[in-house]
């Protein structure tokens, strides 16, 4: 069987880490595309020169030519510009939408059979735009956000309870922004509800509620917390790792249940929008959406988050995309 081909559009921080992880895990040959001349070639040369040490024999190719992505099985999009001082939210949306439009046209032309994972922000708008411009089927265009947001929630729970993060199951729904919905009621440690363990720890329900509220808030603001510390740029290791989980689920047809930004056609009461929900990921991309029962409070939080996504998409349309 020929090796799978994975192309990455945008060879910045996330694109570089992704290339190295894909190489080390031998998931497939990698093409790293960027508009900056020589930069992706330099990163790929550097990564390839570690191949003897890391013991991989896959090809990593840096390029400024879209032709190199011909026939890709998976295309991962990280292209975009970060917000600069003085730039309004609309300015950023216009700039990144313009970039995404060009990317989508080229992916459509060169890799029409690929499954596409979008990472670029603002995520919910960028994944919508990619689908609209490319005309790809909705199950083949997926956004990465929920795995990372859920991993952040799980990490903070593990630190609070002083247990291994491997035993934490935590799920975050909704848009990839301040309105995301970490699902407290479903969070558990190997099946034991996190709230029960917090109440036992503090022997006080009100205190346990207060601690959980802080974990939820930290999860929602986690991207900003990293930005503040880094001073230049945003998180890149954890978004890259989260994307690897999606890539493996698709390449190995794993049927994993992962929270991703998926197109909803009536599920969760939402029609025609991309929203973060649990989905079965396999060889066909999003194979189905996994619905779950929400109580009134959770549903209200999700509705609020969906409204934020709708506003973002409407803003993009207003700006001409």
Q: How far is the CB of 68 from ligand APR (least distance, A)?
A: 13
Residue partners of 280: CB distance under 8 A and separation at least 6: 255, 256, 257, 286, 287, 288, 290
Size of the site for ligand APR (CB under 6 A): 25
Least Å distance, CB 10 to ligand APR, is 4
> What is the contact mask toward ligand APR in residues 76 to 95, using x (rule: CB under 6 A)?
--xxxxx-------------
123-134 and 296-318 helices, crossing angle to 10° = 60
Under the binding rule (CB under 6 A), the answer on residue 239 touching ligand APR is yes
Q: Select from 9-17, 107-115, 286-294, 300-308 the region that touches ligand APR (CB under 6 A).
A: 9-17
Measure the CA dihedral 268/273/277/283, to 10°.
Answer: 120
The number of C-alpha atoms within 13 Å of 110 and in the hemisphere containing its C-beta is 21
Element (H, E) at 172: strand 172-173
Order across the sheet with 271-282: list the strands: 60-63, 29-33, 5-9, 74-77, 115-118, 141-143, 256-265, 271-282, 285-289
Q: Is 276 in the site for ligand APR (CB under 6 A)?
A: no
Using CB under 6 A, which of 119, 246, 260, 270 touches ligand APR?
Answer: 119
Choice among 176, 199, 259, 264 that is catalytic: 176
Q: Within 138-157, which residues bind ligand APR (CB under 6 A)?
A: none
Q: Does 11 bind ligand APR (CB under 6 A)?
A: yes
- 102 sits near ligand APR (criterion: CB under 6 A): yes
Candidates 5, 6, 8, 15: give the one binding ligand APR (CB under 6 A): 15
Output the residue with the shortest Cβ distance to ligand APR: 12
Give CA torsion, residues 12, 13, 15, 18, to 10 deg.
170
Cβ proximity to ligand APR, 97 vs 170, nearer residue: 97
User: If binding is defined by CB under 6 A, does position 234 make contact with ligand APR?
Assistant: yes
**Which residues within the stretch 22-41 sit at the binding site for ligand APR (CB under 6 A)?**
34-36
Q: Is 176 a catalytic residue?
A: yes
Token pair recorded at residue 6: 């994975």
CA distances from 163 to 25, 167, 288, 294 (A): 28, 8, 32, 27
Residue ranges in contact with ligand APR by CB under 6 A? 9-15, 34-36, 78-82, 99, 102-103, 119-121, 233-234, 236, 239
User: Residues with catalytic annotation?
Assistant: 176
């Amino acid at each position: 069987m020929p090796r799978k081909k994975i192309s990455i559009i945008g060879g910045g921080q996330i694109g570089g880490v992704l290339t190295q992880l894909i190489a080390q895990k031998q998931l497939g040959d990698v093409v790293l595309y960027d508009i900056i001349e020589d930069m992706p070639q330099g990163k790929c040369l550097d990564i390839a020169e570690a191949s003897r040490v890391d013991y991989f024999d896959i090809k990593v190719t840096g390029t400024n030519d879209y032709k190199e992505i011909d026939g890709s099985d998976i295309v991962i999009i990280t292209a975009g510009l970060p917000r600069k001082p003085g730039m309004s939210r609309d300015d950023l949306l216009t700039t990144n939408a313009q970039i995404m439009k060009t990317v989508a046209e080229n992916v459509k032309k060169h890799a029409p059979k690929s499954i596409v994972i979008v990472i670029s922000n603002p995520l919910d708008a960028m994944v919508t735009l990619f689908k609209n411009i490319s005309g790809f089927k909705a199950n083949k265009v997926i956004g990465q956000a929920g795995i990372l947001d859920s991993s952040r929630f799980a990490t903070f729970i593990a630190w609070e309870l002083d247990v291994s993060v491997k035993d934490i199951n935590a799920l975050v729904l909704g848009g990839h922004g301040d309105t995301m919905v970490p699902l407290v009621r479903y969070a558990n440690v190997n099946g034991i509800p996190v709230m029960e363990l917090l109440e036992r720890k503090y022997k006080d329900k009100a205190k346990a509620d207060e601690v959980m509220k802080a974990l939820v808030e930290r999860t929602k603001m986690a991207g900003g917390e990293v930005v503040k510390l880094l001073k230049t740029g945003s998180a890149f290791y954890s978004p890259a790792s989260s994307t690897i989980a999606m890539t493996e689920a698709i390449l190995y047809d794993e049927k994993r249940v992962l929270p991703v930004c998926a197109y909803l056609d009536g599920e969760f009461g939402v029609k025609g929008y991309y929203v973060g929900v649990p989905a079965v990921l396999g060889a066909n991309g999003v194979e189905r959406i996994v619905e779950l029962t929400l109580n009134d409070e959770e549903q209200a939080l999700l509705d609020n988050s969906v409204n934020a996504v709708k506003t973002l998409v409407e803003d993009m349309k207003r700006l001409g995309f």
